[in-house]
Structure 1
Amino acid sequence: IWEQDFSAIKKHLEALKAGGVSDFRAYFAEHPEELLFCQHLTRILDVNQTAVRMYEAKDKQELIRATMQDTSQGELENGVEEMIAIATGRTSHSWEGGDETMTGRPIEIRLNWSVVPGYEDDYSRVLLTTVDITERKWAEEAVKISEERYRQTLESMMEGCQIIGFDWRYIYINDAAARQGRNTREALLNRTMMEAYPGIETTEMFATLRDCMENRVTRQIENRFTFPDGSSGWFELAIQPAPEGIFILSFDITERKRAEEALQESEKRYRLLFEDSPVALWEEDFSLVKDYLDSLKARGVIDLYEYFDLHPEALKECAAKVVILDVNKAALGMYGAGSKQELIEATLRNLTRDGLSHIVGEFAAVAEGHSLYQWEGSDETLTGEPIEVSMDWSVVPGHEQDYSRVIVTTIDITERKRSEREIQQRTGELLLINTLNDAANRGEDIETITEIFARETRNMFDCQDVAVYLLSPDGAHLEMQSSTISNSLVEQIEKFIGVTIPRIRIPVREDSYTRTLLNTPQGVISSNPAEIAAWMGEFTETTFLPNALRSAIKKILPQVLKILKINAVITIPLVSSGRTIGLLDMSTRGEFTVDDLQRVRILSHQMTAVILRKQAEASVKVHLQRITALNEIDRAITSSFDMRLSLEVLLKEVTSQLDVDAAAVLLLNPVNQSLEFVAGKGFRSAAIRQSNLRLGEGLAGRAGLERRVVHVANLHDTGVNFSRVRLLKEEEFIEYFGIPLIAKGVLKGVLEIFNRHALIPDPDWLKYLETLGGQAAIAVDNAQMFQDMQRSNQEMTIAYDATIEGWSRAMDLRDEETEGHTRRVTELSLRLAEKMGVSDQERVQMRRGALLHDIGKLGVPDNILLKPGKLTDEEWVIMRQHPTHAYEMLLPIKYLRPALDIPYAHHEKWDGTGYPRGLKGEQIPLAARIFAIVDVWDALRSDRPYRKGWEPERIREHILEQSGKHFDPQVVRAFMELMQEDPGLG
C-alpha cells in the first residue's frame, strides 16, 4: 500500500486543459516529455512494509527515493491512462503490467489507486495498492501451453466441447459443438454468447452457466435451446470450471426428448399409445411415499440423505410404499419379462433390496416438490443381464399435489455408456501417445519413455505391474527396461530372500517360452495360475542372476507368487514394421479381456515406434560422435608428430566412445620382438606400465602374433593365459579385447581394451573398435616415420654444413693474406644479427652465406686475385664480377638458395653506388647490409701487402663517416653498440 499526493499533477493537467488541451492521449504522444514531467510531480507520502518487501528494498526511504527518481517502462505504459483518469476526474484507476524490484528482478503487478473520500477536489491523498501477479501470469502462460496439448483430443471427440471465458467469449469450440449450435467455429470464436445468440442471457440455462462461472461449481443439466431461426433442440450439458472460465461438454439429446414428449402426448390421450410406445414406460403411484416423507418432515427430519444413511430400515419402508400401476410392452421387452405382473413384482422386490442408496435422490425430489426427476445408473434384467439405464419420471399434470400418477421412462443406455467409456479410453490412449511423443521431443531417453508408458498403462488398466523388456542388439537376451513394481515391494522381496535383485536379463533361447512369446505377434493372455507359475519357474531358471539369488528365488517362488497375487498376465511382443525389439508384460490380480489385449497391442505399437525413433536418434548421435572423435584423432595425428600426444588423444576417444573403463597401447620393439607399454588411460594403478610381453606371450602377444582381435568375455576364466595376474587383481577387470596395430602390412603394436563389467558389443561397436585400432596404427607409423625422417634430415644438414666449411677453408688457403677472415666475419655477423633481432632460422642461412661470401672469387684468375699491388681498371672489372660468379654458382643448388643474400649483395652500398646491381637502401637484403660492415671492419683491421691494418678508433670513425653512404645507419648504430659492449672487438 502506498499513500501518494497527486495534487500537483491535478493542477498541471487543469492548466493544460485551460490552455486548450482536450485530447490528452494525442497530446502526450506528441509531447512524451510532458508525460515524464507529470509523473515526476507525484509525491509519495508513505509505503507499508509489504511494499518494501515486495520491491526488495532495504527500507521505506530507499523505495520512495528510487520510485521518485526512476520511471520504468511499465510506468510509462500506464502513465497516459493514469493522466487521462486524473484529468477527467475519475477517482480510481487500475492497470496490469511489468515492473522490476530494486534488485532488478522483473515482476508482473496489478496496480489500483483511489482518491481518499474528502480529497476528490485536489487529489492530495490517494491510496495505491500493488499486487505481485507474476505467478498468476506464469500460470496463464502454462495454461496456453497445456491448452494446445488437449486441443487435438477435444477435436476428435464425437460430443460438443467448448470453453467460455470469464467475459462470456468463446475461447474454444470443436466442430461437434459448432454443429450443435447451428453455427461454425469461425463465426463463434472470440464472440460472446450474447452476440452469437441474442437473448440467451435471460434463459435459465445462462443462469446455471453464470452460477458455475462465478461460484466455480460443477453442474449437469438438460436444456431446451431455441435458435435464432426459431428451431429448437435439447442438450445435456456437463459444465465445470476451467482456468479460462467454464468448460461445457454437450450431448444432443433432442431425439431422447422427443421420445419423452411423445410419451407426454400419449398421456394426454391417456393410454391410447402407452402400450405401443417404443420407450419403456411405467405408471406409478408415489402418494404413499409422499405421505411417509411428509410425516418425516413433521417429525423434524430435514436432511433425508443423512436420515436414511443412519436408518436404512426406514429407506426400505419408504421404498415399499411405491405402487406400480402399469408397465408397457417396451418395458417387458427391455427387462425380459414374460408378463406385466412378473416385471412389477420383480421391480418391487428390487426397490427394497440392500444397496439402492440412489433411490434416496428420488425420495428427496418428492419431498422437495419436484415434478421431474432423472437418474442414470446400473440395473439388470430379470435374466440377470447387466444394463445401463436412464430413468426419468414426471408427475402427470393435475397430480402435482399427491403424486398419485407418475410416468417413469426407462431407456437402455448401455450402448451409449459403452461409447462414453470408449471415448474416455480413447482419450486416455491419445493422451498417453501425446505424452510419449512429448517426452521423445523433449529429448528424454528410452528408459524414461518406457517408465512413463509403464506407469500410465498400469493406471489406465488398473493392473498390478507393467514391465518393458528390450532385446539386446544381438537378440540374445531381453533386458528389463522399466517396471512399475513399487520399490517397497522389491525391498520386501529382497528382505525376504536376503539378496539384492539386479536388473533382470533373460536369455532368449530357441526352445524357451520367451522365444514363443516373442514369436506370437498378436500377444497372449495367461490366466491359468499353473501356467503362470511354470513361466515364472523358467524365468528364474534361465535369467542372468547370481547363483545365490537364483537358488533363493527358486526356494521361495511360491511365497513370491503369493505376495504378488498374480491372476492374469498379458504378454505382447513389441513389433513395428515387422521388427521385434522387445516384450511388454502386464500382470493383474483381476482379469484381462480380449478387448484389453487389443488396446494394449495398439498402445505398445505406438510406444515401439517411439522407441525405434529414439534408437535411431541415438544411433545417429553415436555415429556423429564417433565421426567427430575420428576427426579429433586425425587432427592430433596430422598436427603433431609427438607419438605420445597422439596416443593420449586416441585413448581418450577410445574410452569415451566405446564406453570402456581402460585402454592401453603396447608398441613392438623390433630388436627383441617384444611388446612394451607406451600409453594408457583409465587404470587405477601403475601396474600396466610394467607390461613387456614377447610376441605370442599372453593375450596381447597372441593378438600381435596371430594378427587378429583377441576377445575374452571373462578374464577370470583365462587362468594362466592372462600373464598379468597382478593387473587383473588390482584393477578388477572382467572383459578384454586385444587389437593388433598393423600399418602398411607391418605390425606396430597392440591396442588393449579393459572393462570392469560385462560388455554387450554390437557389430557397429566391434567395427568401430577395429577402426580405432587402424587409427592407432597410423598414429604410431606416422610418428616413427617422422622420427626416421628427422634423423635423416639432421644427418644431411650436418653433411651440407661440413661441405660448406670445407669450401670456405679452401678459399682461405688460396688467399693466404685473408686466412681466418671468413671465420671471423662469420662469427661477428651472427652476433650483430642476433642483436638486431634476426630469427634463428635466418641466422642459419646468414652463417652459410657468410662462409661462402667470397666463393665467387674462384672465378677470378690468380694473377688478379693474388696481385700484390693495386689493380688496374680492367682488372677491377673482372674482380667486381665475383658476386655474380657466386650467384651463378650457388643458384642451381636448391639447399643454398636462401643463403645467396650475402655472396650476391655484400658489395652493394646504401647510397646505390655498390656492385654488381647498384641496389639502394632497403633494396639491399638485411643480411648483406649487416655483413658489409663486418667485412669492412675485418679488412681494415688486417694487414695487407700494400698497407698496415688500421687502429680501432680510425676504423670506427671511417664506419661512422660512411653511415648513410656505404652502410645502413641502423646497422651502424647496432654495430657501435656491440663494440661498446665488447671492447675486445676493437
Structure 2
Amino acid sequence: MSAFDRSGVFDLAPIAMWMEDFSQVKAQFDAWRRAGVSDIRSFLREDLSRVALCAGKIRIIDVNARTLELFGASSRQQLVDNIGRVFRDEMLESHINELSALFDGETQFVGSGVNYTLTGQRLDIQLRGSVMPGHEATLDRVLLTTEDVTEREQARRAEHQNRQYAEGIFEHSPVSLWVEDFSSIKTLLDELRDRGIVDFRVFTDVHPEFVRQCMSEIRVIDVNRATLDLFCAEDRRTLLHRQGEIFRDEMEKHFKEQLIDLWNNNLFHQREVVNYALDGSARHVLLQFSVLPGHEDDWSLVQVALTDITARKKAEAYLEYLGKHDVLTKLHNRAFYMDELNRLERKSLRPVSAMVIDLNRLKETNDHLGHDAGDALLRRIGEVLNGAVSRPNHAARIGGDEFAVLMPGADRQAAAAMADTIMELLKINNQFYSNAPLSISIGLATSEDGEKIETVVRRADALMYEHKRAQQRVRPELLRSNA
C-alpha cells in the first residue's frame, strides 16, 4: 500500500498516472518570492538549471501499472532509480509551463513534452496535472497523467515536414508559380451552360466583355519568389496591385483560348504568351495551367506555371532573321528575295516594279584597300537602302555587289520616286565619307500586262548593266578633260 489512500481506479486506469510531492518545490518558490521573483516564467528561462533544480525536488509517491508499462519499467523503484533517463533533454523547457502554473497559484495545468522509455525510445506525451483537494497550500499531493501521443505527433511532424517541403518547392522553384482561385469563373461558365449556350467560341466572339469579366474574377492566392524576379516586382503586394501592367495587349486573346479549354473540360493545358515586367520589358513565357487534384469540381485551387522563354524566343527570332537577312548590310538576303519573287508571281497585285542595283568598284576597293574597306561600302549601301525602302517594298542583297528592290503595287512614277529617294540618301551618305564616295548603277522596270515577274527583273538587270556601261564610258572622258 502506498503513502496515500490508494484506490483501484488509480492502479487500473488505462492512462499513465503519477502521484507526486511538490512540497519542496513549493519551498523553493517561497524562497524565490522572498528574493523578489515575480515573473517566474522569464526567471526560469534565463537559466534552465533553475528548472533542473525544481525537477530534482519533486518526489514520486506512486505510479500506476500503465506508467510502468509505458516507460518499460518492471517496478516503481526501477522507474524512480532511472528517472533521469525518462526526463531529460528538451523536457526542461516544457517543464517550465507546469512550474509557472503552480507558482501562480493554479491548481490545474496542461502541457506537452518529450519523455523517454528506459530503453531510450522517444515518447511524445500530453501532460495534465491537478493539485489534490486539500493540498493546495503545501503541494504535497499532485496527480499527473501522461498520455502517449507519439503517433499523433509523428503524423503532425510528418505533415509539417511535407508542408515545409511543398512550400520550399513552391517558394524556391526556378519557375514562376501562381496559386489562384478560379471558382468564380467556374460559376460563370456553369451559368452559361444553364442558359443553353453550346458554342462557347462564338459566344466569346460576340461578347468579348465576358472574357474581360472572367479575367477580373481570378483571385491570386500566392506567388513565389521567381514570379517577383521574373516581373521585376519588389514584393507580392506591388505585383498584385500592378497586374494590369503585366497582363495586357494580346493577353485577353490568350485568356479567351484558355477559357475555351476550360469550357471543354481541359483542366490541364499550356500555351506561349507574352507578359510584361513592371519595367515595361516583354516576357515571353510558356504558360502551363493545372487545376490541382481534388478541386476539379469547383476550380478553387489552380496552379499556373510561367516558364521564361524570352531568351529562346530571341534566339529563334535571330535565327529567323539570319535566314532572311544579310548580316553585313542588314538587308534581306537572296533566299528571302527568291521567296518574295515567287510570292509576287502568285499574287494578282499589279503593277510590280523591280530595281536592280550594282555597287560600283567594290572589287577594286577590296583589291587595293582590303576587304574591311569593301565591307564598309557594303554596310553604307545597306544603310541607304534601309533608309529608303519600307514595307510593302523590300530591299535585298542578291549577290556580292548586287542588290534588288521589289515594289508590289508600284507604277513607273512610284518606282522612279523610289530611285530618286535612294540617290538623295546616297548623296547625303557621301557627304560624311567624301574620301570614299559610294557609286551605284541602277536598272528600273515596271511590269507590263501579263508579264512575269522574272521577266521584269531581267529587264531591270539589263538596264542596270546599260547604266553601268554608260558610267564606264563617261569616266575616261572625265579623266581626259581633267588632264
TM over 0.5: no
Larger relative contact order (CA 8 Å, sep ≥ 6): 2
**TM-score, normalisation: structure 2:** 0.40
Bigger Rg, structure 1 or 2: 1
The TM-score, its normalising length taken from structure 1, stands at 0.21
